[in-house]
Every structure is written in structure tokens, then in C-alpha cells.
Amino acid sequence: MKLVLAIVSNDDGSKVSSALTREGFAVTKLATTGGFLMSGNTTFLVGVEDEKVDQVIEVISKHSCKRTQIAPSVSYGAEMYNAMPIEVTVGGATIFVLNIDRFEKV
Ligand code: 2BA
């Protein structure tokens, strides 16, 4: 079994969530914040059998758009640098696939 952990833009969160649910996957959504832009994004946890991982990634990528965003200032840890605004490309989705040693529902 694998855990697919996918970070998507808040703008795509509902579409991704609906599509995964429609395809029959169990999904948990977390409200998260990107460390660089400090803006909200959505993180999905999807536990699936190994052979379904590619299908999950396909659904997520189909509904996650690449977009450009302006980072008004650059933050590194607690310090904030008022540098020139820079344009960054965000998404579609940042996806991690983790091995699951054990899965229980009790
Ligand atoms: P943020 O950390 O807010 O990053 C937003 C976008 O800013 C990134 O898009 C990337 O294009 C740019 N960026 C991030 N860190 C940067 C840096 N140190 N210098 C210059 N540009 C930087 P994505 O790569 O598509 O990432 C979207 C969101 O996915 C991130 O939001 C973060 O929440 C998450 N993420 C991306 N890579 C990650 C990783 N390796 N580990 C954990 N979370 C990650």
C-alpha cells in the first residue's frame, strides 16, 4: 500500500477533491501553507493499493493547473527581505508517494 501526498493550489482543491471521490478514492484534505509564498494551499492524503497510484496521480494532474504568481517579498525563516517582486511558477501539483508498512481501521 502507498500513501499519495499531493500539494495543490487552493484554487484547484475542490476540483481535485471531487474528481478523486468520484473515481472512488478515499481522500483526506488538509489546509496547508506554502513556506515560500506563505499562501494557502491544499494537501491531499490518499491511501491506495500500489497498482492504483498512477491512476491517483493522473486524476490529480488532470485537475491541477500550472499558474504564475508574484512573490512580493522573499522570506527566509523568520526574516523577511524586501527584495524586488519575483514571478514564480506554482504547481500543477507537488506529489510524494510513501510506502505504508501497515494500514489498520479499528
Ligand atoms: P510554496 O513554498 O509557497 O512555493 C510556491 C512556489 O514558489 C513553488 O511552486 C516554487 O515555484 C517557488 N519556490 C518555492 N521555494 C522557493 C525558493 N526557496 N526559491 C525560489 N522559489 C521558490 P511549487 O514548486 O509548485 O510548490 C508549490 C507548493 O508545494 C509550495 O508552496 C510548498 O507548499 C509545496 N512544496 C513544493 N515542493 C516541496 C517540497 N520539496 N517539500 C515540501 N513541500 C513542497
Q: Profile the chain (106 residues) by mean pLDDT over runs of 10 residues.
A: 97 97 98 93 98 98 93 62 79 96 96
CATH number at residue 35: 3.30.70.120
Instruction: For residue 31, tell me if it sits in a domain.
Output: yes
CA–centroid distance, 38 to ligand 1, in Å, is 10
Q: Whose CA is nearest to atom 13 of ligand 1?
A: 36
Quote the domain boundaries for residue 14: 2-99
Number of domains in the chain: 1
* pTM (predicted TM-score): 0.90
Instruction: For residue 91, tell me if it sits in a domain.
Output: yes
CA–centroid distance, 105 to ligand 1, in Å, is 33
DSSP state of 12: H
Exposure of 74 in the CB half-sphere (CA atoms within 13 A): 8
Nearest-atom number in ligand 1 for the CA of 37 is: 3
Exposure of 87 in the CB half-sphere (CA atoms within 13 A): 3
Q: Whose CA is nearest to atom 44 of ligand 1?
A: 94
**pLDDT value at position 56?**
98
